Chain A
Amino acid sequence: MTAAFFAVVLAVDLLAVVCQAYCQPIARFGGATVLMFPVILAYGSLALPFAGTLALAFCTGLLWDALTIQILQPGVYLQQLPVEEARLGWSIVLFGLLAVLTHGLRPLFLRGRWDLHCIASGVCTVVILAAQYTMLTFVRGGLILPRDLAARVFLPGFFAMVLSPFVYLGFYVVASLLNYPVRLEEDRRRGQPERL
């Protein structure tokens, strides 16, 4: 059942990365974007075993980088190699780190603390965006702190926290259908049969 649930979480997560192209920055909110995949990544990190968490972080990071990293031709020197703005794969490390840290909260999550997913979603989103901007500043040089930077980093975190209960509910239904024990200890406490 774990494999089936992992497959569902991974598929939804990768679909969220691909469909991110249709979530454009919202001008009314200072150009903030709704990022869906950190919410799913946070959920996967809390609900899946350690190996599944790492696999999810690896696949998400690889696809995210493959679809977003800018690889530019040098232009000036004809024989020079193309230039990556950031190494393809740096998001794997970032997402892996976030996933492992979030996974540390799994025992509490299994006791039915769904609010942890909400907090983890917000924190992951903010850290991902802040890390991207820091990397961008480091590579391009010149510390520029535009007015809308806070909105672009923190508002998506807020959006993620608002969206997380719906994602949690959706996966809870899937977990129930697949007999995957997401709320094992909570069910045990209530005297309900364990779903294994």
Chain B
Amino acid sequence: MSRVSIIALVAFLALAVLVLTMHTHSAQRLQARALQLVRPLHTTTSGLGQSLGALGNGLKSLEETENENKILVVENQKLRARNQMLDDLEADNNSLRQALDFKKRSQFNLLPARIIARSSTAWWSNVQIDRGEQDGLDSDMPVVTDIGLVGKTTTVAANTAYVLLVTDENCKVAAYVEGTKEKGIVNGERSSVNVQPNLNLSYLSKSASLQPGQKVFSSGVSGGVFPYNLLLGTVKEFQVRALDAHAVVVPAVDVSKLENVFVVLPERGKGGGGERRTGGDASRNVPTAPAASTPSTRR
């Protein structure tokens, strides 16, 4: 073995040990820098892909576009009116809560974000979004769509962040089943044949009796990440095991087709993320938290 090879081997081992013994915070900073470094490439490629997709979709007749625009204008007006009504209701609700000495219902600040890259491995399930620290993001912030929960942020760089999807085994969400008092933990599968994997709802009581089609919502543990009442999915299968009961849940959000998401920012002046609202009714069937509260979006 030549002297150069020996020096190279020693240098390799020394650097490998240096990286392996790195403090977790340093590792996270390194990951954030790497994400920031590759962001321009991901943004450009993702933008190019969307433009090409839009080109294909954009080949519509003027008449079709006009009709679509008319429908959207009407829908927009309807939603504005409904939003105004919900604002009034929320104000009423909060004043009544105050009168009853209940905690004020929190408002969500929703930050729109675009997915610029997806998990490149066979085992992990995450996506990269085009928002980061500069937009007010931090680790462990819930990410949602208008349908339901998508996941939570993990490593956050200046202009980009990783979102751990709800379909990943590591993403665990405290959940309840609509119309029952059953509570459990929802998490993803380690590996699935489907591109759209199912979720597992575990630690249900042995006396539970769930029916396919029942909706599963986040139960918003105090001090936890996810707010109360975000739709997670619907029960597909249910079985009672030796110590507990278990259900297979079809995710509400098709994570394989996601393009745009919303990051739930904490209420201004508050540090905490998700917290169960005191006085909330667990049996209420509100599809998603953003729909139940008043989302204020900023771009």
Contact = CB atoms under 8 A, between A and B. Distances in A.
Contacts of B31: 66-67, 69, 71, 88
Contacts of B207: none
Contacts of A156: 122
Contacts of A70: 124, 126, 154, 162, 164, 168, 170
A82 B139 contact: yes
Contacts of B155: 71
Contacts, number: 158
Q: How large, as a class, is the contact surface on chain A?
A: 35 or more
Interface string B183-199: 00000011111110000
A89 to B, nearest CB: 3
A83 B23 CA distance: 10
B277 interface: no
A51 B195 contact: no
Contacts of B25: 81-82
A60 interface: no
A67 B27 contact: no
A152 B154 contact: no
Interface stretch (A21-29, A107-115, A116-124, A172-180): A21-29
Nearest to B190: A144
Interface in B30-69: 30-31, 33-35, 38, 41-42, 45
A70 B140 CA distance: 13
Interface stretch (A4-12, A132-140, A184-192): A132-140
A31 B16 contact: no
A25 B128 contact: no
A33 B123 CA distance: 10
Contacts of A92: 15-16, 19-20
Nearest to A15: B41
B118 A96 contact: no
B1 to A, nearest CB: 8
A152 B191 contact: yes
B83 interface: no
A75 B140 contact: yes
Given A82-B25, A88-B22, A129 B122 contact: yes
B12 interface: yes
A81 B193 CA distance: 34
B140 A68 contact: no
Nearest to A22: B45
Contact of A66 (B16, B34, B119, B189): B34
A75 B20 CA distance: 24
Contacts of A133: 122-123, 191
B24 interface: yes
Interface of A: 18-25, 27, 30-33, 49-51, 54-55, 57-58, 62-63, 66-73, 75, 78, 81-85, 87-90, 92-93, 96, 129, 132-133, 136-137, 140, 144, 146-149, 152-153, 156
Interface of B: 1-2, 4-5, 7-9, 11-12, 15-16, 19-20, 22, 24-25, 27-28, 30-31, 33-35, 38, 41-42, 45, 117-124, 126, 128, 139-140, 154-155, 162, 164, 168-170, 189-195, 223-225
24 contacts: A19-B41, A24-B118, A24-B195, A27-B193, A33-B120, A54-B8, A54-B11, A57-B12, A58-B12, A67-B31, A67-B35, A70-B154, A70-B162, A71-B31, A71-B155, A73-B140, A75-B225, A78-B223, A87-B20, A89-B22, A92-B19, A93-B16, A147-B193, A152-B122
